[in-house]
Structure 1
C-alpha cells in the first residue's frame, strides 16, 4: 500500500475557466504523477476540470481520476459525465439564518448567539463511481 498524499492546487477564481486551467495542468502530467481523485471547492471548478480531462484530453473520469464538486448546482447532474457533489441544505440554512436574525433583532433578553451546524449530503453520480 502506498502513502496517500494531499495536494492543494490554487486557482485564481472559482469558475469553469479556472477549473479548466487547473485540469489542463493535471492532465498534462505524466500518468503516474496524476492524482487518483480530485475534490473541487465548487461545482463550476469541477466542471472545468472535467472539460479539461475528458473533452480536451484522454483521461477517463472516474476510471483514471474520480472527480467531485461542492454545491450540487443544476448543471452537475447534466454534465457529459454526471458530477458527484456535496449538497448543502440551502432552504434550511436560509430559514435558520432568518430565524436567528429575527430572534436577535427582537432584543429578547434570553437570546444567546449560537453556532448552528448543518449536515451536508454526498450526491454520488458517475464522476466518482
Structure 2
C-alpha cells in the first residue's frame, strides 16, 4: 500500500531536500509539498476524498500562519482524520517551549529537528 506524505514548509529548499529524501526511500510513497498553511488546508479540503495523507510534516515558523495555526485549522476541519494521520512538527527551532508545546499537543506524534534524515523517515514509516 502506498503511503501518502504531505510536506508543509515555506522554505522551497527544505521541501526539495525532504521530497528527494522521501522519493529515494525504498517504500512505496507519494509526496506532495505546499509552502503555506493556507495552501495546505486548501489542498486537504480539495483532495480529502481521494488523496489524504498518512503522514504530515509541518514547519513551525512560516510567514502569515505558523505550524501552530495549521494545527488549529486542521483540528477544526479534519479532526475526524486525526487518528489515522501521523503528524510531525519538523522545525529548526531548538527552543524548549516549542519542543514541549509540540510534544504536548494531542495531534502531534513527535517533534523532529531539521533536517529530516533517512533514519528518522524509516522509523516514522515503520
Using structure 2 for the length normalisation, give the TM-score.
0.47
Q: Looking at CA atoms only, which structure, 1 or 2, has the larger radius of gyration?
A: 1
Q: Higher helix fraction: Structure 1 or Structure 2?
A: 2
Using structure 1 for the length normalisation, give the TM-score.
0.46
Q: Higher strand fraction: Structure 1 or Structure 2?
A: 2
